[in-house]
Amino acid sequence: MNKTTCPLDCYDACSVIYEEGKLKGDKAHPVTKGYLCPNLNRYLSEPRILHPRFKGEEITMDRAIEILATMLEETQDLETLYFKGHGNFGKLQDAPAHFFRQYGATFTKGSLCDGAGEAGVIAGRGESLSMPYEQIAKSRIVVVWGRNISVSNSHFMELIKDKILIVIDPVKTELAKKASIHLQIKPREDFYLAMLLARFVYIEQMENYDFIDNFTNDFDYFVELIRSFPVKTLSERVGVALDDVLTALMLMKEEKVAILVGVGVQKYANGHSVLHAIDSFAAMLGLFAKEGSGVSYLANSGLGFTHIFPKGKKQVPIATVDFAKYDLAFIQGSNPANQMPRTAKVIDGLQKCKFTVYFGLYENETSKLADLVIPAKNFLEKEDIRFSYGTDFIGRMPKLVESEIGIDEVTLTNRLCEAFGFETLPQPRKMIEMIVGNNVFEKDGYLRNKEYEKVPYADGFYTDDEKFQFMDEYEDEACEADGFYLITCKQRHSLNSQFKRDSYIYVPPVCGFADGDIVRAISPYGEAEFRVKVNEDLREDCVMIYSGTPGVNYLTPDALSLEGESAIYQETRIVLEKV
Ligand SMILES: Nc1nc2c(c(=O)[nH]1)N[C@H]1C(S)=C(S)[C@@H](COP(=O)(O)OP(=O)(O)OC[C@H]3O[C@@H](n4cnc5c(=O)[nH]c(N)nc54)[C@H](O)[C@@H]3O)O[C@H]1N2
Ligand SMILES: Nc1nc2c(c(=O)[nH]1)N[C@H]1C(S)=C(S)[C@@H](COP(=O)(O)OP(=O)(O)OC[C@H]3O[C@@H](n4cnc5c(=O)[nH]c(N)nc54)[C@H](O)[C@@H]3O)O[C@H]1N2
Ligand code: SF4
Ligand SMILES: [Mo]
């Protein structure tokens, strides 16, 4: 049987069977349960880039590599950038770092995705571990906080279908409509909601002192922090009824509670504080290191594995990269001209950069601007392995198809290394075993991360003294502009800018626009035009534009979170004008 794993940047890391030229969901896999989502279902019919291209002219792969090597040689003493996204989540996608480190290129650090929240998790727990699916299965209450499970993590719907569901989201999502309680929170106020919940735990004396005394530090400072905000202020800020917050908390009393947090809560300057506050609230209830309970954010998928492709020393934050500063930019597995914040600056930078290379599967805004376009092989045509940020499953991705199209990351790296006389890479299989080492165990026929053999954090946290560190201070730098909050999240039929993209701005009825109107959306960072769809599921103070929608990132800031060097797409406000 031809078993492989979905390569896409997604929580589920589905197990896939490749049969008779078709991709099918693996029925035996406990998460995948036999079906794939619309994105992977579209994967094989999506038009690919078939041939390399130099300044618009089709060329051979050999010629493309020759041009790339020559350009790299000519710019060796100048500034070269290696910019990599996550179009494919395989570990060997990092192979080109092996060349670019020896070459002396500038690398990126930080994140376009989950970095702000991750910084907050690390502050409390030392490392971000997710909840294994068996543990979520044992919970009774599931709190989904800023994660749109039915869209971005769809295989968890089955897992949580019989649970008591609490959803915290400014949008009345399909998931929120199924929930026992939906807290339709004002965007960006999740820190204050966590403070309010913690305050109620304190008032109701629901603290788990057994856990607090033995496994945590600085609880007294946390109590001081939560008491520094008057309940009235907290309740005004979060914009939801106090009764609902209290009812939600009472549902959690003495129960097994799984809190599944997504990136929605942390696309702001204070994103780290939101996660640290949610974790601190959970620690107060003793939800860690316990069967059926925990807080699951996007996990460090590489935990315990060997990094065989270290980055170079020169690194700049990915969210604020200024392509104009580089003589050569090598862009792999990413579409920065659509997905990075502040598109006008990104496009200007790509135009000013003397030589841009796009290495990917599909045509998009970035490939159109590139001097040299190099098609990649798809995940069926090369050997790899992937880890997951949503579960602890590990998926092998063997080579299953021979194809004339494109080049894989390892071969391209070796061709460049040969051209420069650098050390080349071992065989893919050998590298995979070097990465994995003995950090895996097998259960029911599937590979899992050994760090998860026990309940996460059962042997202590990953901090210096192995205790959970409560939050003890709060800082913030909010956008002060007027206008609507921008919600920019994932949609079902695209994987960021891959596959079937959306094109609308969703507005609440209070805006007074009608379906089909064209509006100009203006933020402090730029503007773009969109077609309107009126949506009753939005709060009156929000507009929504999905990730991948052409134009959306003209509106988003090229600024970093206070911690975690992450993009902060929603730290902006939007004003609308009818065109
Ligand atoms: N179909 C599909 N699946 C995907 C992706 C995709 O593009 N399409 N992308 C993948 C990637 S790269 C990632 S990182 C994950 C992310 O997947 P998720 O973690 O689900 O992230 P988002 O969809 O960005 O936002 C989740 C929810 O947060 C809500 N939200 C927005 N602002 C706030 C706020 O201030 N507070 C609260 N409480 N909620 C808020 C949004 O309304 C949305 O419902 O999904 C992965 N899966
Ligand atoms: N407005 C807004 N912006 C966002 C977000 C948002 O929610 N809203 N989300 C942010 C998040 S969470 C993320 S993770 C980023 C994602 O941003 P990107 O990483 O840029 O993601 P994609 O748009 O999916 O582009 C992936 C590219 O990878 C290429 N690719 C696919 N497979 C392979 C392969 O095997 N090899 C090579 N070489 N290339 C391949 C495809 O051609 C595709 O162009 O976007 C961020 N930007
Ligand atoms: S749900 Fe995620 S992992 Fe599963 S097939 Fe779709 S994109 Fe791939
Ligand atoms: Mo992401």
Residue 9 Cα to ligand 2 midpoint, Å, equals 8
In a shared domain, residues 124 and 233: yes
Averaged pLDDT score across all residues of the chain:
97
Evaluate the CA torsion angle 419, 425, 426, 428 in order and state its sign: negative
HEC profile for 189-225? CHHHHHHHHHHHHHHCCCCCHHHHHHHEECHHHHHHH
In a shared domain, residues 89 and 220: no
How confident is residue 94, by pLDDT bands cut at 50, 70 and 90?
very high
Report residue 363: phi and psi, to 5°. Answer: -75, 140
Across the range 186-215, mean pLDDT stands at: 98
493-524 residue pLDDT tens? 999 999 999 999 999 999 999 999 999 999 99
- Is 468 part of a structural domain of the chain? no
Structure-block tokens of residue 277: 């506050």
In a shared domain, residues 261 and 148: yes
In a shared domain, residues 85 and 138: no
523-566 residue pLDDT tens? 999 999 999 999 999 999 999 999 999 999 999 999 999 999 99
54-85 residue pLDDT tens? 999 999 999 999 999 999 999 988 899 999 99
In a shared domain, residues 293 and 308: no
What ligand has the least distance to the C-alpha of 39?
A: 3
403-447 residue pLDDT tens? 999 999 999 999 999 999 999 999 999 999 999 999 999 999 999
Measured distance CA(479)–CA(487) in Å, rounded? 14
- Is 417 part of a structural domain of the chain? yes
Residue 557, pLDDT score? 98
Across the range 278-289, mean pLDDT stands at: 98
CB neighbour burial string for 412-427, b if at least 16 within 10 angstroms, e if fewer = bbbbbbebeebeebee
3-37 residue pLDDT tens? 999 999 999 999 999 999 999 999 999 999 999 99
Q: Is 49 a residue whose pLDDT tops 80? A: yes
| Segments forming the whole domain that contains residue 339 | 3-111+304-447
Residue at 134: amino acid letter: E
- Ligand 2 cavity residues, CB under 6 Å: 9, 85-88, 112-113, 263, 332-335, 339, 359-362, 364, 376, 379, 488-490, 495-498, 547, 552-553, 556, 569
Measured distance CA(357)–CA(407) in Å, rounded? 14
112-152 residue pLDDT tens? 999 999 999 999 999 999 999 999 999 999 999 999 999 99
How confident is residue 228, by pLDDT bands cut at 50, 70 and 90?
very high
Across the range 210-234, mean pLDDT stands at: 97
**CATH label of the domain that carries residue 245:** 3.40.228.10
Measured distance CA(491)–CA(407) in Å, rounded? 30
Q: How far is CA 159 from CA 166, 416, 547, in A?
A: 15, 46, 26
Number of domains observed in the structure of the chain? 3
In a shared domain, residues 286 and 170: yes
Q: Of the candidates 230, 262, 297, which is a domain's last residue?
A: 297
In a shared domain, residues 347 and 318: yes
- Is 498 part of a structural domain of the chain? yes
In a shared domain, residues 211 and 277: yes
- Is 470 part of a structural domain of the chain? no
- Ligand 3 cavity residues, CB under 6 Å: 6, 8, 10, 12-14, 36-37, 39-40, 154-155, 495
Measured distance CA(16)–CA(538) in Å, rounded? 36
**CATH label of the domain that carries residue 346:** 3.40.50.740
In a shared domain, residues 19 and 125: no
Residue 284 Cα to ligand 1 midpoint, Å, equals 26
Residue 462, pLDDT score? 98
Residue 77, pLDDT score? 83
**CATH label of the domain that carries residue 564:** 2.40.40.20
DSSP result, 450-496: GGGSSSTTTT--SSTTSSEE-------------SEEEE----TTEET
Q: Is 477 a residue whose pLDDT tops 90? A: yes
Across the range 445-465, mean pLDDT stands at: 97
Q: Of the candidates 267, 297, 327, which is a domain's last residue?
A: 297
- Is 264 part of a structural domain of the chain? yes
Q: Of the candidates 297, 324, 358, which is a domain's last residue?
A: 297
Confirm whether pTM is higher than 0.85.
yes
In a shared domain, residues 135 and 106: no
